[in-house]
Copies of this chain bind each other. A is one copy, B any other.
Amino acid sequence: MSIKVGLVGTGTVGGGCIDIIQKHAEDFKRHYGIDLELAQVCSREPEQAEAHGVADIFTLDYMDIVNNPEIDVVIELIGGTRVAKDVVEKALQAGKNVVTANKALMATCGEELMDLAKAQGKDILFEASVGGGIPIIGPLKNQLISNEINNVMGIVNGTTNYMLTRISQGLSYDESLREAQAKGFAEADPTADVDGFDAAAKIAILASIAFNSRVVMDDVFTEGIRGITPLDLEAADSLGYCVKLLAIARRSSKGVDVRVHPTMLPKEHQLASVNGVDNAIFVVGDAVGETMFYGPGAGAGPAASAVMGDVLELARRLTLGVGPIVGCTCTDDLPISPKENLKTRYYVRFNVADRPGVLAAMTAVFAQHNVSVHSVMQRGTTCQENDTVNVIYITHVAKESDMQAVLADIAALEGVLYGEPALIRVER
């Protein structure tokens, strides 16, 4: 019995999937008794299909795949949440199983799509949506389910991790972005990566599974890396820290705290040594303790490995005539902790006028809002151009709302602040 697959999207990841099927179809038969056939391929770019030698099964219209009665599994790899959603919905409605790598789609419409799949008696699998090739959704939904998991934390965006690695080596933000784009690690429009939205979608998915409670992208307090300068990374380094764009999800009796922001981590931390485009995800369970999953977070091979893992899982079950087994496990409805209640330590750098009284006035604002200062330092020399200087505060643990009040009041001090302050939260 052959399992027929329809592929929608022939970009990097889609190409990787075609490669795997062409290379290993015989192995899948021999090892797993899975007879997989790539039956139809859809893309807006026929030349991509031709380049992969699948011009004979090519179509420009995804409805051809949706309406193809032979197709058992549809792979959605076009990205975005508009057309992709239509592909996934139509495929499920037509009685196909679906595999997608689309984090934005799953982090915004996950509940709706999983409900639809359930109503149709079909599956929607999405291992590739988080961590590229790293198996993480599978372990969370299977091997680790005897744990109560209260903590998931990781580096889940390779683009920004690459950029931060390069900024720490002396490049400016703009230089690091251009380099990432030149190497194909960043899109022409880098917003989803550098503003943290990609990571926010991923941590929403991980939190939903780990905590058995739906978390959507809009629930995630998200800050990107646009404000990060080599100066901040140098200062962090001299204090024994590195800076990573961390995605953090924590559960407490008060609810779910879920966020993405640049974070200072002690250099000894396991995540500190994750450089370049690699991803790493920490999962802490009440029985297992701390586990970490590490590997390439993006790229044709890694993402296709995860997509094809899902396709083979479906194919294995379809071959045996077995329907969905796991499905949605968001059975609880935990509240999302408001951002204001976050308590952490802060690094904050202000570019301020270099004149007497400024430091005293600023430091008074911290005291006024009960934000206890651990240390203050001046970095670099006075900027000749506008007579400003960089002042860095490290705080003790403080409440986010108090810290935001400090920032607002310092911004309101007359003639003190130049530009936006750089704020980095500190984890131990």
Contacts and interface: CB of A to CB of B under 8 A. Distances in A.
Nearest to A146: B308
Interface stretch (A169-177, A198-206, A282-290): A282-290
Interface string A263-292: 000000010010000000000011111111
A401 to B, nearest CB: 33
Interface size grouping (class) on chain A: 35 or more
Contacts of A383: none
A271 B51 CA distance: 39
Nearest to A317: B325
Interface in A133-178: 133-135, 138-139, 142-148
Given A144-B135, A148-B24, A287-B302, A31 B212 contact: yes
Interface string A294-321: 1110010110111011111100110010
A30 interface: yes
B309 A142 contact: yes
A287 B301 contact: yes
B304 A145 contact: no
A95 interface: no
Contacts of A270: 273, 294
B326 A325 contact: no
Nearest to A213: B31
A32 B140 CA distance: 13
B308 A287 contact: yes
A127 interface: yes
Nearest to A138: B143
A139 B292 CA distance: 13
Nearest to A295: B291
Nearest to A16: B287
A146 B289 contact: no
**Chain multiplicity (copies):** 2
A309 B146 contact: yes
Nearest to A310: B143
Contact of A142 (B291, B295, B313): B313
Nearest to A278: B290
A95 B32 CA distance: 24
Interface centre among A143, A317, A320, A325 (most CB of B within 10 A): A143
Contacts of A134: 291
Nearest to A324: B320
Contact of A135 (B143, B273, B299, B320): B143
Contacts of A301: 286-289
A305 B147 contact: yes
A331 interface: yes
Contacts of A317: 325
Contact of A139 (B20, B139, B294, B310): B139
B309 A143 contact: yes
A351 B312 CA distance: 56
Contacts of A143: 127, 135, 138-139, 305-306, 309-310
A135 B146 contact: no
A196 B270 CA distance: 27
A325 B316 contact: yes
A301 to B, nearest CB: 4
Given A143-B306, A146-B308, A291 B135 contact: yes
Given A16-B287, A322-B322, A142 B133 contact: no
A27 interface: yes
A370 interface: no
A293 interface: yes
B331 A30 contact: yes
Query: Which 7 pairs from chain A and chain B are nearest by CB?
Result: A146-B308, A291-B295, A135-B143, A133-B288, A135-B139, A288-B305, A287-B305
9 contacts: A30-B332, A134-B291, A139-B139, A270-B273, A287-B302, A288-B305, A288-B306, A292-B295, A320-B325
